Structure 1
Amino acid sequence: MDMPIASELPLTGVDINALPPGDGEWVLRRQLAAAYRLVDHFGWTELIYGHLTARVPGEAPHFLINPFGLNYDEVTASNLVKIDLDGKIVEPSPHPVNYAGFVIHSAVHMAHAERHKVVMHTHTRAGMAVCALKDGLLPISMTATAFHGKLSYHDYEGPSLDLDERERLLKNLGNNQAMMLRNHGLLTTGRSVPEAFLRLYRLERACQIQVDAAAAGALNVMGDNLAAKSGADMDRFSEMESAVGIGDLEFAALLRKLDKTDTSWRN
């Protein structure tokens, strides 16, 4: 792959794909590498574990995943590893991948759906705490209502080493793009990296608010009608952004933040 230098590829305003035409994989690599850096920036990492994956443009079911063993702040566009649906490396790479960690992601990618091109899974403190609650995520904040009636749950079966779990996980996800893996962690999907990341940010923030509020006192849980209205209004707000893509405005702003301190994710 001919990799342009960073100075040739300015990312300004909302044009997060300001790259030479015809190289959709390079666009994807840069976006996904940036997402790994942002997960590190927000403190959502758990050592070297957890993954953000994205399907590579083209007919072959190939995906990009982080090199296993690297910190998230060491991930770059060029060192992301390309694998197939079984987690096997399909292009030369000096880095290994976490085969077991791809089981969850491959289940979602198996759907070949436009809405599941990108899968993000984290083990955050707040996310795992809410995943450990019997009632799961509660409608106690505007952010939480974004997932009202659109959040799936999957019961814990262990550290996801068995391939036969994939069918059950996919069935539980259904038509939603966010799921709480009970006693485990958070998972979001999207048609693009910015969309999946924005969804992950909102789900993580909703969990943080719930943990903080529960520690402070009795929770003021919204009624179903109000939560549904708030969730519908959140959808309307997202649709207003559709001209530039859901999450694109937020992601572009975050890329500018990254570039103020470190541009190595672009390499």
Structure 2
Amino acid sequence: MTQQSTNRVKQQVTTSEWETRVNLAACYNLVAEYGWDDLIFTHISAKVPGPDQHFLINPYGMMFDEITASSLVKIDLSANKVMPSEYDINPAGFTIHSAIHEARSDAHCVLHLHTKEGVAVSAQKQGLLPISQQSLFPLSGLSYHDYEGLALRDDEKARLVKDLGSTNFMILRNHGLLTCANTIADAFLSMYILQRACEVQLLAQAGGTELTRVPEPIISGMKAAVDQVTNSVGGGLAWPGLLRKLDRLGAPYRQ
């Protein structure tokens, strides 16, 4: 992405949209940095600020560590481009995202991954177990959606939305992980915690001994504890530091 291309896109959008583009591109770059990407597959989408139902999504075929603010493609809920772009998108990949964005006005960002640890836990009948502090955060509001094959059919949307309900964490059975939130920072932090909980679970299970579960009353009190731990700022507490990390690495998200 040349500086000329970056300036051209930046001049065509509002300041708030550009900020969303920068944060969403950073989220893609961070997913790649943490090794959670699956080549060019999976998606992270974010609503463009304003009254229109417009969203930003990755250009299909671009690796997550290559994605920039200006390369993100602006589309509507039917995956039609609403702003000229030299890049295409994967319409089928937006099926899950469009369903959630349309049903949940609070889901400004939807993050879906195929990490090996996430897929492994999604294949376990009991799902995520309450065996670590990390697991308690998603368990305070976790849903599951059974596997129906590749997410290509519109009729699956209603079932996905029903299963998600009002939760912000979802395990897609035999498929992967999903988080949604009001901000990109919150969606990323939620995914970080969910992914770490899956990693810990697999390590604990590999030990071959009986596991100790956290008592139910502690799990029930986690929602209030989350606000206290993050000073009610949520992902915004860690996000500036994550952006500084990307800047040190020379990530292209601001372009």
Length-normalised TM-score, structure 1: 0.88
The 5-angstrom pairing of residues 18-33 of structure 1 reads 23-33=15-25
**Contact 1:50/1:121 (8 A) holds in 2:** yes
5+ long unaligned stretches in structure 2 = 9-13
1:104 equivalent to 2:96? Answer yes
CA deviations 1:16-44 (Å, max 9, x no partner) are: xxxxxx61100000000000000000000
Q: How many residues are matched?
A: 246
Which is worse superposed, 89-98 or 199-208?
Answer: 89-98
Q: CA deviation at 1:261?
A: 1.6
Match of 1:119 in 2: 110
Look up the SS of the partner of 1:256 in the other structure. helix
Residues 23 and 3 (structure 1 numbering): CA distance in 2 closer, same or farther, change over 3 Å?
A: farther
Look up the SS of the partner of 2:225 in the other structure. helix
* Aligned residue among 229, 233, 253 for 1:237: 229
Partner amino acid, structure 1, of 2:79: G
1:220 equivalent to 2:212? Answer yes
Residues 264 and 58 (structure 1 numbering): CA distance in 2 closer, same or farther, change over 3 Å?
A: same
**Contact 1:144/1:206 (8 A) holds in 2:** yes
Distance 2:122 2:145 in 1: 10
CA deviations 1:36-66 (Å, max 9, x no partner) are: 0000000001111010000001111110000
* Aligned residue among 161, 166, 181 for 2:157: 166
Distance 1:125 1:103 in 2: 22
* Aligned residue among 30, 41, 53 for 1:49: 41
* Aligned residue among 44, 53, 58 for 2:50: 58
Match of 2:250 in 1: 262
**Contact 1:52/1:121 (8 A) holds in 2:** yes
1:143 equivalent to 2:131? Answer no
Match of 1:68 in 2: 60
**Contact 2:140/2:222 (8 A) holds in 1:** no
Identical amino acids, percent of aligned pairs: 47
Residues 205 and 65 (structure 1 numbering): CA distance in 2 closer, same or farther, change over 3 Å?
A: same
Distance 1:69 1:236 in 2: 41
Q: What RMSD, in angstroms, separates the aligned Cα atoms of the two structures? A: 1.8
Distance 2:216 2:103 in 1: 31
Q: Which has the higher helix share?
A: 2
5+ long unaligned stretches in structure 1 = 6-21
Q: CA deviation at 1:3?
A: 5.9
Residues 236 and 223 (structure 1 numbering): CA distance in 2 closer, same or farther, change over 3 Å?
A: same
Partner amino acid, structure 2, of 1:68: Y
Look up the SS of the partner of 1:104 in the other structure. helix
**Contact 1:142/1:230 (8 A) holds in 2:** no
